[in-house]
Amino acid sequence: MYVGGNWIAGQTSFDDINPSDGSLYARIPDGGRAETRMAIAAAQAAFPAWSNLMFQERAHYMLKIADVWERRAPDFVAAAQAEGGGWFGKGMFEAGYVAEVFRAAAGVLYGSIGEVLPSEHGKFSTAVRYPMGVISVISPWNMPGILTARGFAFPMAAGNTIVLKPSEDTPYAGGLFFAEVLEEAGIPKGVFNVITCSRERVQEMGDEMIENPLVKGISFTGSTPVGRQIAAKAGAHLKKCCVELGGKDSLIVLEDADMERATSAASFGSFMHQGQICMSVEKVLVQESIYADFLRQFVARASRLKTGDTKDKANVIGPLINERQVVRVKHQIEDALAKGAKAVLGGRVWDRYVEPTILTNVTPDMAVWRDETFGPVAVVVPFKTDAEAIALNNDTEYGLSAGIITRNEERALRMARQLETGMCHVNCSSINDEPHVPFGGSKASGLGRHGGKWSLETFTETRWITLDRGHRPYPPVF
């Protein structure tokens, strides 16, 4: 683990498995409360000096991180393939994106950090944002580069110090690799710390990362059930948190859609990284008049995707990350088929692989309609009117992202205002992200926003500071 600028060994370790073939990828330190407290103490000790640096000095560090990351991009891609089971192209996309996260974090430091307010008493009145202190970051396995970087880059740039716990499924690509990069970039000791643990010790380490009194904020990206627990615990301690959670996202294809664009958006949105993305298209809602034509072309396009070990770059669909995910996805497929759904493509599950699957005749009583799938499964459902499409999209506890494919932008914007999602993309897939935008969802998809100035709003404290130049009078009795 990486604590206080030093590499420390754990007393025990756990196996980090390559999901493509079940082989041992690495042995990872299995930490607990003691290591967590050590990392938090190191981050707290580093906070005064780091937060007192001039903003441009922290910006320069962010740019150094981006440069080192770019040089080491091939190393990350190899790890994302072997440790995370990702396709080569997905790894390349992540590697390129992460460098921009740090550059965006540098850039945001040159923006406003507060406001000048009017004063009833002629004071010079300001509202200024200040860093909070130690921020705990808990990152997921599905996009270990992007979602880890986004979780800590902006808070750290703002002057906070970081304790990162990556997922036990990608502890290297999502954690220890970042420690190597930041160490090479010369980040001062203690500013950035990485601790790791097995699944069996997640509760122990996670509780300390939330409850420790030195921790001032929590950044979490992951499942909704875990996010609920983290938000509740943070709230009990009156700590700020940003939780980006699951989704049950729709692609709405209107009757005037460009069919090439629509089927491409559906295929990418549903099957990129085996559907293991919070913004993945899980419902494809298609207007009745083009339903048959769309379904035929969507099936034809998706049938070309090859499934297998991602060591072979031709295999776009790799394994699911672990056995739990396989069981979850297999159950949803079998439940749907047992209740009358039809698999017009795929449906086969073996080892950790699920081939791209397209289901029709899906009804609301099926688990695949209600629950997040997080696998390469898409349901295609016809609708008659815009109002019906909106209702079908909103028929879920989630509210992360959506896409609308149409030539009529005015119609799309009118619909977008009625979708209960934190994000909506016209003539594009629901999978969209940029480092400087307000990323996040509504309802059970999260609380708060990552990215750009919105991250700074979450992970800074606002202070009201005045200078009395008008000599505000006090009552004579005093």
* Residues annotated as part of the active site: 244, 278
Structure tokens belonging to residue 46: 């580093």
Q: Would you say 375 and 329 are in contact if contact means Cβ atoms under 8 Å apart?
A: yes
Helices assigned H by DSSP within 33-112: 33-51, 55-71, 73-82, 88-108
* Distance from the Cα of residue 413 to its chain's centroid: 25
Structure tokens belonging to residue 3: 């604590």
Contact residues for 340 (Cβ-Cβ < 8 A; gap 6+): 361, 363
Pick left, alpha or beta for residue 175 (phi over 0 → left; psi -120 to 50 → alpha; otherwise beta).
alpha
Question: Between the CA of residue 142 and those of 174, 276, 365, 381, what are the distances in Å?
Answer: 9, 6, 28, 27
Phi/psi of residue 282, nearest 5 degrees: -110, -20
Give the end-to-end CA distance of the chain in Å, rounded to a whole number. 59
Contact residues for 338 (Cβ-Cβ < 8 A; gap 6+): none
Q: In 3D, which of 199, 183, 125, 129 has the Cα closest to residue 158? A: 129
397 C-beta neighbours (distance < 10 Å), count: 14
Contact residues for 212 (Cβ-Cβ < 8 A; gap 6+): 36, 37, 40
Q: In 3D, which of 362, 464, 405 has the Cα closest to residue 267? A: 405
HSE-up of residue 116 (Cα within 13 Å, Cβ side): 4
